Structure 1
Amino acid sequence: MRYVLFDVDGTLIDAVDNQRLVWHTWAERYGLDPDEVYRVALRTRPVETFAQVAPDQDPRECLAALHELEDEDVRDGSYAAFDGASELLNALESGTWALVTSNYEHRVRGRFARTGLPVPKVVVDAAAVTEGKPSPVPYLQAAAQLGAKPEDCLVIEDAPSGVQSGLRAGMTVWSVNTPAAVNGVHRHFGSLRDAVQDILAYSSEVHPDRLEG
């Protein structure tokens, strides 16, 4: 069998504007430059962001404030699933796909409920691992929970840290929803919609030669 492991924000859910607004609001609470904070946050986990942009603040209080804003966004924010996401996820066989996110499962479930996307049996979130992307741990954990070998897994990502996570896990990695291919990927698609049929073909065990491009 072959398996598909999806990142969430930026890959299945269009939440870029939401993430920017959340971080800008958080930065303003602490009297920081919102643009600089967001630039750092794009490259690091929240605790690492706090250490860099607000080293004099209690990281636990910083995280609590961020979580409050993110939970508000799940309830009241305006966002949508990317075109093709619903068709793709509903076409995949149960038990052959998972979500691997740097967010938290309750927020993923909230956003999926609001956008009508199905939630798989396996969701590996920030609370489930001690090392986040770009470590291979999140994707390796998802594969283990599915009973899959890394070489039988396809990772769908939009961010460099996620791509590196999948590659370090020894998996095939495709990027979507970016103007240019993320460095290191095996294939790139300008949008998730463009990748739908190829992802479904992969999950149906097409010949390996078809995976190159």
Structure 2
Amino acid sequence: MTSKNFVLFDVDGTLMDAVENQRRVWHAWAARHGLEGDEVYAVALRTRPVETFAAVAPGAAPEECLALLHALEDEDVRTGSYGAFDGAAALLRALPADRWALVTSNYEHRVRGRFERTGLPLPGLIIDAASVAEGKPSPVPYLTAAEKLGADPADCLVVEDAPSGVRSGLDAGMTVWTVNTPAPHPDAHRHFPSLAEAAPHILALVGRP
């Protein structure tokens, strides 16, 4: 395989375990609307927030629904418990500072808050939901990251856990590896059951022992 010089990481589910946090946020949101938490969360796992609101609370104003969700997410960043996946901190510290970035569907201030809480090092570049007009599975987020890093998409390795992120990276013309899922995505170039297992291979691609 041709050596890849840049690494672009998804955040939630890839570097950090935030499943329980997302569940708590959606349960709190559902309670404010008199809805059953598990039912709302099941929909939220499959759809974007605006689509979730339309499905579970069609009579509510989408702007108010989103404002409440954002407030709950911000509160969770301040008070919730987060855990980085094994090997994440050592991997990020070992990468050249100008050769990796975060590409997330979340917002930068939340990512920074979570990283500070878990002690993960931050890169110089974070492409978040406010950075692009189209989110994953569009290739725009990963292409934007490559452009800002001055990288050819063909020289970028994407590390993901979610199908939408895999599609985003593939359509951007990048190599995509998946981690932290029991089964590989059928279109990903390579799969590792955990980030820790992927770490030495990621470092090898950027020329680090």
Could you say which TM-score interval applies, normalised by the shorter chain?
over 0.9
Offset of residue 46 of structure 1 = 1.5
TM-score, L = length of structure 2: 0.94
Report Cα offsets for 1:47-72 as digits up to 9, x if no partner: 22222222221111111110111111
Offset of residue 39 of structure 1 = 2.0
Q: What is the alpha-carbon root mean square deviation over aligned residues?
A: 1.5
Instruction: Tell me what 2:109 maps to.
Output: 106
- Picking from 46, 51, 66, the partner of 1:48 is 51
Offset of residue 184 of structure 1 = 1.1
Q: Take 1:165 and 1:31, find their aligned partners in 2: how far apart are those partners?
A: 35
Superposed, 1:69-84 pairs within 5 Å as: 69-84=72-87
TM-score, L = length of structure 1: 0.93
Question: One-letter code of the match for 1:70?
Answer: E
Q: Give secondary structure in 2 for the equivalent of 1:68.
A: helix
Instruction: Tell me what 2:124 maps to.
Output: 121
Q: Residue 89 in 1 paired to residue 80 in 2? A: no
Q: After TM superposition, what 4+ stretches of structure 1 lie above 3 angstroms from structure 2?
A: none
Instruction: Tell me what 2:170 maps to.
Output: 167
Instruction: Tell me what 1:14 maps to.
Output: 17
Report Cα offsets for 1:169-204 as digits up to 9, x if no partner: 111000101111123111111110000000001122
Question: One-letter code of the match for 1:161?
Answer: S
> Retained in 2: the 8 A contact 1:160–1:183?
no
Offset of residue 205 of structure 1 = 8.8
- Picking from 154, 157, 161, the partner of 1:154 is 157
> Retained in 2: the 8 A contact 1:2–1:205?
no
Instruction: Give the paired residue count.
Output: 206
Any unmatched runs of 5+ in structure 1? 207-213
Q: Take 2:131 and 2:156, find their aligned partners in 1: how far apart are those partners?
A: 19
Instruction: Tell me what 2:68 maps to.
Output: 65
Instruction: Tell me what 1:26 maps to.
Output: 29
Q: Give secondary structure in 1 for the equivalent of 2:183.
A: coil
Q: Residue 37 in 1 paired to residue 54 in 2? A: no
Identity %, equivalent residues: 70
Instruction: Tell me what 2:135 maps to.
Output: 132
> Retained in 1: the 8 A contact 2:9–2:159?
yes
Offset of residue 33 of structure 1 = 2.9
Instruction: Tell me what 1:143 maps to.
Output: 146
Question: One-letter code of the match for 1:111?
Answer: R
User: Relative to structure 1, is the Cα distance of residues 85 and 42 closer, same or farther in structure 2, using a 3 angstrom cutoff?
Assistant: same
Question: One-letter code of the match for 1:46?
Answer: P
Q: Report the more deviating stretch, 29-38 or 158-167.
A: 29-38
